[in-house]
Structure 1
Amino acid sequence: MDKVLVTGGAGFIGSHFVKRILQADDVAQVTVLDALTYAGHTENLGEAFLYPKLTFIHGNIVDADLVDQLVQQHTSVVHFAAESHVDRSFFTAGTFLTTNVLGTQTLADAAMRHGVQRFVHVSTDEVYGPLLEGAATEDDPLRPTVPYAASKAASDLVALSYHRTYDVPVCVTRSSNNYGPYQHPEKIIPLFVTRLLRGQPVTLHDRGQHVRNWLHVEDNCAAIELVLRGGVPGEVYNIGGGTDLTGRDLTGELLRICGADWDAVTYVPDRRCNDLRYAMEWTKIADELGYKPTHDLESGLVETADWYRRNPDRWAPLARSPHAPMPAVHVAALRPERGYVH
Structure 2
Amino acid sequence: MTKKILVTGADGFIGSHLTEELVRQGHDVRAFVFYNSFNSWGWLDQSTKEIKESLDIFSGDIRDPFGVKEAMKGCTHVLHLASLIAIPYSYHSPATYIDTNVNGTLNIVQAARELGVDKVVHTSTSEVYGTAQYVPIDENHPLQGQSPYSASKIGADQMALSFYRSFDTPVSVIRPFNTYGPRQSARAVIPTIISQLANGQTTIKLGAISPTRDFNYVQDTVSGFISVMNSEKSLGEVINVGSNYEVSIGETAEMIADIMGVNLTIETDEQRLRPEKSEVNRLWAENKKAKELIGWQPQYGGKDGFRRGLEETIEWFTNPKNLSQYKADVYNI
Q: Same fold (TM over 0.5)?
A: yes
Give 1:319 deviation, angstroms.
4.6
CA distance, structure 2, for counterparts of residue 294 and residue 140 of structure 1: 25
8 Å contact kept, 1:144–1:153: yes
Identical columns (%) = 29
In the other structure, the counterpart of 2:317 is 308
CA distance, structure 1, for counterparts of residue 331 and residue 74 of structure 2: 35
- 1:243 aligns with one of 242, 245, 249: 245
8 Å contact kept, 1:9–1:34: yes
Counterparts in 2 of 1:247 and 1:313: CA distance versus 1, 3 Å: closer
In the other structure, the counterpart of 1:111 is 112
Counterparts in 2 of 1:44 and 1:283: CA distance versus 1, 3 Å: same
Tell me which amino acid in the other structure corresponds to 1:32: A
Give 1:43 deviation, angstroms.
5.1
In the other structure, the counterpart of 1:47 is 47
Output one character per residue of 1:65-97: Cα deviation in whole Å (capped at 9) or x when no partner.
111112122111000001011111111111111
In the other structure, the counterpart of 2:290 is 285
Give 1:139 deviation, angstroms.
2.6
RMSD between aligned alpha carbons?
2.2
Instruction: Report the secondary structure of 1:105's partner residue.
Output: helix
Output one character per residue of 1:25-83: Cα deviation in whole Å (capped at 9) or x when no partner.
3x2x201112168xx96352233552343111221111111111121221110000010
Counterparts in 2 of 1:77 and 1:322: CA distance versus 1, 3 Å: farther
Structure 2 stretches of 5 or more lacking a match?
Answer: none
8 Å contact kept, 1:242–1:297: no
1:3 aligns with 2:12: no
Tell me which amino acid in the other structure corresponds to 2:240: N
Matches within 5 A, 1:250-261: 250-261=252-263
In the other structure, the counterpart of 1:197 is 198
Counterparts in 2 of 1:114 and 1:320: CA distance versus 1, 3 Å: farther
Tell me which amino acid in the other structure corresponds to 1:88: Y
- Using CA pairs below 8 Å that are at least 6 residues apart, which structure has the higher relative contact order? 1
Give TM-score, length-normalised by structure 2. 0.89
8 Å contact kept, 1:6–1:33: yes
Counterparts in 2 of 1:215 and 1:323: CA distance versus 1, 3 Å: closer
Output one character per residue of 1:143-172: Cα deviation in whole Å (capped at 9) or x when no partner.
121111111111000000111111110000
Tell me which amino acid in the other structure corresponds to 1:287: E
8 Å contact kept, 1:204–1:247: no
Give 1:116 deviation, angstroms.
0.3
Counterparts in 2 of 1:318 and 1:66: CA distance versus 1, 3 Å: farther
1:59 aligns with 2:60: yes
Instruction: Report the secondary structure of 2:68's partner residue.
Output: helix
In the other structure, the counterpart of 1:85 is 86
Give 1:318 deviation, angstroms.
5.0
In the other structure, the counterpart of 1:274 is 279
8 Å contact kept, 2:12–2:43: yes
Give the number of equivalent residue pairs. 318
8 Å contact kept, 1:48–1:54: no
Give 1:312 deviation, angstroms.
3.6
Matches within 5 A, 1:123-162: 123-162=124-163
8 Å contact kept, 2:234–2:294: no
CA distance, structure 2, for counterparts of residue 240 and residue 61 of structure 1: 27
